[in-house]
Every structure is written in C-alpha cells, then in structure tokens.
Structure 1
Amino acid sequence: MNVKFNKYSKMMEIEFQFRDVQDPNLFRNIFPYNEVPRLVFNHRVVPMNIPEKLYITDTTFRDGQQSRSPYTVEEISKLFDLLHKLDNGSGIIKQSEFFLYSKVDREAVVKCMEKGYDYPQITSWIRAKKEDFQLVKDMGIKETGILVSCSDYHIFKKLKMTRSQAMEQYLGIVSAALDAGIVPRCHLEDITRADFYGFVLPFVNRLMELSRQAGLPVKIRACDTLGLGVSIPGVALPRSVPQIIYGLVNYGEVPSEWLEWHGHNDFYRAVTNSTTAWLYGAANVNTSLLGIGERTGNTPLEAMVMEYVQLRGDTGGMDLRVITEIAEYFENELNYEIPPRTPFVGRAFNATRAGIHADGLLKDEEIYNIFDTTKILGRPPVVVIDAHSGLAGVAAWINSYFHLKGDMAIDKKDERVARIKAWIDKEYENGRTTVIGDSEMEQLAKEYFPELLSLRQSRVE
C-alpha cells in the first residue's frame, strides 16, 4: 500500500492504485438490472467545500440535440444570442458546447464564433479518436470535450477493451490535444457506475500528471450518464455525488475550476445533484436549455441560474428576464411545447386555480407567489378559472389580466363578479370539464366591465 502527501488535506494518505481486472465490476449488489437500483449506505460523510466562483456551462447544441430534431444554423445562432444575453457580461454562463460532425454543426460554430462574444465560450465534443481530434484543430477551437468512458459497463461491454487498454487510448488522445495547445475536457462517462478507487482516481491522477508536464489545464467532467447519482449524505460509491466530487478534488487533485458535473434526470435528481456538485467542490455544472437532452433530459440551465441566485444572494449580473424570452422562442418559433407547469418557463408555472389561493393573491400576491415573478422574470402571476375558482378567482383573474392594482382593483364582492361566477357555475353544471379560457373571460369582462376593454386597448396601443 503506497502513501503520499496530499497538498489539499496537508496529510499523508493512501495512494489509490489502478486495478486492471479480468471481469467487469458491474456492482450487481447496487445495480441488479432486473430490479430498481438500490441505495446502499456506507455512512461516510465528507465536508462541503463550495468554490469561490460558480459557473454554468451549456450543452444545448450537443447533448440537447440528441433527443430532438437538429437545430438549423439560424436557430442555433438565435439561441446562442439568448445565452449571451442571459449571461449579460457576467461570465457565469461560461461555455457552450457544439458537435462538429455535420456541415450544419460546423456552419453554426463559425456563425457563433463570428459574433465575437466573450461568453459563452465555444467548445466542442469528440470521441477519443485521432480522426475526431482533427476536426477540432481545423475549426480553431481552443477547448474540446473528449469522451473517456470510465465504467466497466462501457469499457468491457461497449468498447470491448480492458481497463488498461482504455486508459492508454484515452491518455494518447489527451496528449495529442495538449501537444496541439488545445485544452482537453475529459468526459468521464458513466461515473456513477464506475470503480472510483480502482479506475477513476488512478486515471485522473495520470491526467493531472499530463497537465503538469504540458503546463495546460486538463479539465474533468464527471458524467452522471444515467442519472444514478445521489446527493444524500452517507450513500456509498459509486452513486454518491458528494464523495465523487470530494474525491476528485482531494484525491484526484483536480482544481475546482477545472471540475464540472454533467447530470441527467432519470431519477428526478438532476438539479439537486448539480447543486450538490457545486457545494462539494465542482465550480462548473453542465446544463441544457429547458433540460432538453437524452431520455429524461439534462439539468435545465434556467434551474441552475435560479440555484446560483439562491446560493449567492444575487444574480451575479445575469439578466433573468431573458429566461422568459428563451421560453417564448422555443414555443413560438421552434414549436416546442413546454409542459405548462414547468418551473420558471411553463405558461402556468405561477398559475393558481384554487379559490382560497386566488383570495390570497387578491389580498397580496406575495402570499402565494414564489417571488416577484413580474419583476424578475417578466411573468405576472396567473389565475386559471374553473369550477373551483370562486368569486376570488374571478376577481383575481380580472385584476391580473387588466393589470389593476390599488384603487383600480376589482373587489370580489362586486356584484358583476357574482354574475360572471354564476355564468361559470352554470357551464360546469351543464357538464363542462375544461377550464374557462382567457378569450371567454375577456368576453365576459367586455359584457360586465366594458370600461376595462378600452383600458387594455389603450395600453396595447
């Protein structure tokens, strides 16, 4: 057993040794496959170590394109503009990653490069093959992601290699990138099913050695490819996000600013795991717009913007109202249907139907609105009218739709509100099951509050 001095802990610690194995370690006690994966605990708790600076990276044009029709050059250009606008010069939306394989991908990269934006920086993604690396050099890109699968599921079953064969191939392509002066970002695919101490850490130690020799960063992206990562303290590796990040920083000696988490949402943990990665030492979290990505999707970029603000106490300079612009572009221009109750971007994310909630909104919207969505996202709270909305719901809808506040606001005790509610009640008594749409409510308002229609028209003009 070898020991060495750890410059991070300032202690002598065990040096983790590479283990080449004849048979793959598939962790069948955790991943039986014919059953739901298990949460196994080792009760090991590691300390939080949040980096001084936090960043969000984007894979909308890479992983995000693997679950939908490819974007056109113009669509990529517009979305890249919106990412830049959201970043607003803060440098928090740090990078955006692109495919390079098709003509459209390469044209999009050139068009985005021509914009001259500082942020997001343009990076690429390739397989660990030298013919792929040539694409990066030809495009003049300064940093590229390289696929370096690290679980035995991938090494043995997909690549048909041994661990030592895979490691040598990976190190060869990383060395080629460094020789060309290009920063490699090593995507440790399927890290939440990998032998962390027997393969991941020894491999990362070799990568850091290459970095020191070349005088260039070798970045690490920890990829939770199947969304199996868990943030719960005390869960055993390979599923523990805290232990993965802590280990990469403290035993792998990866500087936080070189470390990135890439999560998927298969078990509803994408956002929580990404925040956990920040808390335990990764400066970067990888995301996609609206979370669009393989299978259940990636970590939503807009969610991590909100997580950043909650952790830091301010926006860091980002313009959060652009989140609404992004959502509107997807729905109106790309014909992408966002589930209406999706947080922050769905049409009904801040909508209420319950009469008691609508009554609270009438008194003070802060009672039932998560924050000032009008100011922060340009999205006022919405009231949806159905059989349960009551007088308060009708009055709240009118006040919201016509932007009536203070003395101008309509009271739920107004007899005209009661007449509208009577019409609504009759609809549902006759068997209606759908909500009362805005156009119908506007017609009712036109009948009972004609002065409001002229007020709305004057505002539009």
Structure 2
Amino acid sequence: MKLYKTYEDLPKIKLPKGQEVSISDSTLRDGAQMPGIVLKVDHKVKIYEYLHNIGIEKLETFVYNDRDRNAISMMLDRGYEFPEVTGWARAATSDIDLVLDIGAIEETGILMSVSDVHIFDKMGLPSREAAEEKYLDALQYAVDHGLRTRAHIEDMTRADNTNFVYPMIKKILEIDPKCTIRLCDTIGFGIPFVDVEEPFGIPEMVRHVKEELKAVNIETHCHDDFGLAVANSIAGYWHGANWSNVTFLGIGERAGNAELEKLLLFLERRIEGFDKYDLKSLFEFAKFMEREIGIRIPRNKSIVGNNVFAHESGIHTAGVIKNPFTYEPYPPEVVGGKRAFLIGDSSGIEVLRFKVEDTLHDLLDVKISVEKNDPRLRAIQADIQNLYNNEKRVSCISDEEIQAYVEKYFLFEPIVEKSMGRKTL
C-alpha cells in the first residue's frame, strides 16, 4: 500500500516522448504589447536579470527603436550565457537588417501570418502563394546572412494547415532544416485534446510537424483567450514539441499568453528528472512587475498571488499547522513565497491559538503554550466573532489587532487562580 503523506511520496509523471524541453520568453516582445503598460529600458534589463536567475534559455525582443537597442546593449553587456537574446522581425529584409545591425544577435524570429483573414485583410496580399513567397524570401535572406531562424506561423489554429501551411513548412525546412517552427495559437482557439482535428488540435498539429514534416525544433506560442494557453503549451510538450514561448504573468495582448511561472512550476514539480530551473525568485519577480510596471496581480493568482500560502478557514489552517502538505501543493520556499495564517470570519480556534502563541513569543521572547479551552483565548475568539456577527468587519484581523487582544487578555488582565495560599496538610 502506498502512503502519500509528504511531497516526496507523490510520484512524478514522464513526458511520453522523453525529449529535452526548453523555454523561450516573450515578456519583452509580446508582453510589452499589453495595453496600458510601458516597459522602460531599466525595466527590460531587470526582467532579463530575473530570467537569468531562473535559468530561462532564450528571450525575444524588438529591435525597432533606440529604447529597444539600448536595452539589448545593456543586456548583452551583462555577459550572461543565458537567456540568449534573440530578435524578431516581420517578413521583410529591412526588418532583418535591423537585427543584423546588432552583431551579437545570432537568431531571429520571422513573422509568417497564415490564416486567410491575416493574409488578405490584414496584409492586403493577393493570394496565399504571394504570402508564401514573401515569407520564404525573408527566411532565405536571414539564413544567407548567417542567422538562425524561428518561423512564427501566426494564427495557425484558424488556417488551412493541410492545403497551405504544412506544405509551406516543408519548404521552410528545406531552406533551414534546424528552423524552429513556432506553432502560434494567436487568438486562443487551440484545443489540448487528442483526436481534435484541423485546425484546432494542438496534439495533432505537433504530431504532424514532428512526424510527417520531420521538424527538429517545434515551439508552441499560445494565447489565453479561452483560458487554455498553459494547457495547450503542456500538450505541445506532451506530443513532442521541445520549446514553449511564454510571458511572465501571462502578460500580452488581450487575455495574454501562457504564463511562464505556471509552466515552470509544472515542469519542476510534476515532471520526472526535471530540475534545471530555479524558481525561488518568482514571488519577488511578481512583486517587481506589480510595483514597477503596474501589473495588478489578483490575490488568488496561482504561484505568485498573496493568498497562495495564506490560510484562514478553520479546517484548512488546522491541517496546515499540523502538516503543510495537507493543503499546500508545494512548499512556499520553492517560489520564494511565505506562509501566512489569517484570522477571519471562518477561522477556528486552532489558528487563533497559533497566532496567540506566536504573538506571545514575539512579545515575551519565550515559547508559551496556550490550551485550546483557555478562557482568555476563548474571550478573544468571542470578541472577534462579535465583530463579524454584528457586520462591523469585512476584512481579516491584522497581526497588530491580534497583538492588542493578546496584550489585553494575557498581559494586562491575566486570569489567576482565586487562591494562591499554601495548602496545609
């Protein structure tokens, strides 16, 4: 019989294809296009440093203006081996020349929009054939000038893959056999389930590009309009992709992208033999983005939200106090978080006792045990419950308020035995 009582007891799962998988980050490119935010040069460099501390292999960035180029120069001056700084270009030689002008950049992505709405309505091209010629010419130009390439197959989950996209990818691979084929779920129509057919099925899409077209490098780039970006990214790995392109906190256009932190945690904590990333700065990274960039992080956002390791309700807090594994799927220190016990309207006596003992220790520098039925403890509980019962309170009780209760009932009005006299025989 198997006992699952610690984190180490739980089995890990294996990627069925057994391939080495990596992550490229688009926080400085796709993330920077999020409406309402502006990434300054020093912001970009700081984000680069966080990605370096985590161990992310690549990042992509624009090269169009002085701000972009200044940030790239400062990132390269750090001398880090990773993340590798890579460029991004539209399918135009002028864009690729901008990448080439930064001599230290050795790889660029090239945008290749493949859905009919993009080809005809957005770009105003006369035919699919004209689009293909434009894309292949740009790719050939980049290869001829010594760049490694990524083909950004934009809006693939709304495209005619069988009759147009797959034949074009075959020609891409003839020009650059090692080109990273980025399968872009541009507006989130992708589905992570097996047997979902063209054009939505991510598993079938990855399988075809890997097994039929023989692509060596396959990357997913998934948007979260239907809430499936992370699931689709994992499905990509599951069926043979070796890269996933994500952004920190999922920032980006509309509903954003697959979240870097979620993919990292899944790989590090759930996949067997996977330990190449350091997640301890994730919580700090999120606070930087909230403080400096203005990204509002919901309290209940997984991994980096303030409530991820916060416990209030009686059953939950009692369980966590006895064994954190009861209600915490991973220890706080894994992502640089901190456990917190809160007193609210659903809190029980166990968490209140914990907080009182902790407060007494802080005040007296002595470890003191308080019995569950101690009348002083029960008096504090009654006072707090009266606040909620009379609807005088709509928030948790702060640590400062707990201290005030402890001082009132344990220090200033101690309950003592009525008779302190010596017993006589």
Which TM-score band (shorter chain)? 0.7 to 0.9
Partner of 1:457: none
2:141 corresponds to which letter in structure 1? Answer: A
User: Given the superposition, is the C-alpha separation of residues 158 and 394 from structure 1 closer, same or farther in structure 2, using an over 3 Å criterion?
Assistant: same
Closer/same/farther in 2, CA of residues 332 and 319 from structure 1, 3 Å limit: same
Who is 1:53 aligned against? 20
Residues 1:147 and 2:111 are matched in the alignment: yes
Give a deviation string over 1:281-312, Cα, whole Å, max 9, x none: 11001111111111111111111111212443
**1:129 matches 2:82:** no
Counterpart residue number, 1:357: 316
Instruction: Tell me the distance in 2 between the aligned counterparts of 1:311 and 1:123.
Output: 29
Alignment of 1:156-195 (within 5 A): 156-161=120-125, 162-195=127-160
Shift >6 Å, 4+ stretches: 399-404
Whether contact under 8 Å (1:51, 1:279) holds in the other structure is no
SS at 2:328's partner residue? coil
The residue identity in structure 2 corresponding to 1:85 is N
- Per-residue deviation, 1:382: 2.3
Matched to 1:58, the amino acid is D
* Deviation by residue 1:65-117 (Cα, 9 ceiling, x = unmatched): 11142211111111111111111xxxxx1101111122111110110011111
The corresponding residue for 2:344 is: 386
Unaligned runs of 5+ in 2: 1-14, 413-425
**Residue 65 of structure 1 aligns with which residue?**
32
Deviation for aligned residue 1:409: 6.4
- Whether contact under 8 Å (1:263, 1:274) holds in the other structure is yes
Displacement of 1:316 in angstroms is 2.0
1:413-432 equivalence runs, <5 A: 413-431=373-391, 432=393
Q: CA deviation at 1:51?
A: 4.6
Provide the C-alpha distance between the structure 2 equivalents of 1:398 and 1:82, rounded to a whole number of angstroms.
38
Aligned residues between the structures = 390
**Structure 2: which amino acid aligns with 1:154?**
H
- The SS at the match of 1:60 is coil
Structure-1 residue corresponding to 2:66? 103
Q: CA RMSD in A?
A: 2.3
> Residues 89 and 109 of structure 2 are in contact (CA less than 8 Å); yes or no, is this contact kept in structure 1?
yes
Look up the SS of the partner of 1:342 in the other structure: coil
Contact persistence 2:360–2:406 (CA under 8 A): no
Q: CA deviation at 1:149?
A: 0.6
Q: 1:448 to 1:97 in 2, by over 3 A?
A: farther
Q: CA deviation at 1:413?
A: 3.9
The correspondence of residues 7-406 of structure 1 with structure 2, limited to 5 A, is: 50-67=17-34, 68-87=36-55, 93-140=56-103, 141-161=105-125, 162-212=127-177, 217-255=178-216, 258-373=217-332, 375-397=333-355
State the secondary structure of the residue aligned to 2:27: strand
Provide the TM-score with structure 1 as the length reference: 0.79
> Structure 1, residues 299-355: CA drift from partner, whole Å, max 9, x if none?
111111112124433552322111122122223444432111111101111223321
2:3 is matched with which residue? none
Amino acid at match of 1:391: I
Distance 1:137-1:156 versus aligned 2 partners, 3 A rule = same
Asked if the contact 1:201–1:251 (Cα under 8 Å) also holds between the matched residues in 2, the reply is no
Moved more, 280-289 or 330-339: 330-339
**Identity over aligned pairs, percent:** 34
8 Å contact from structure 1 (residues 51, 282) kept in 2 = no
Larger gyration radius, structure 1 or structure 2: 2
CA contact (8 A) 1:380 1:400 kept: no
**Structure-2-length-normalised TM-score:** 0.86
The superposition leaves residues 163-210 of structure 1 with CA deviations (integer Å, 9 ceiling, x where unpaired) of: 100000000000000010011211000111111111111000001111
In the alignment, the residues of structure 2 paired with residue 114 and residue 362 of structure 1 have an alpha-carbon distance, to the nearest angstrom, of 47
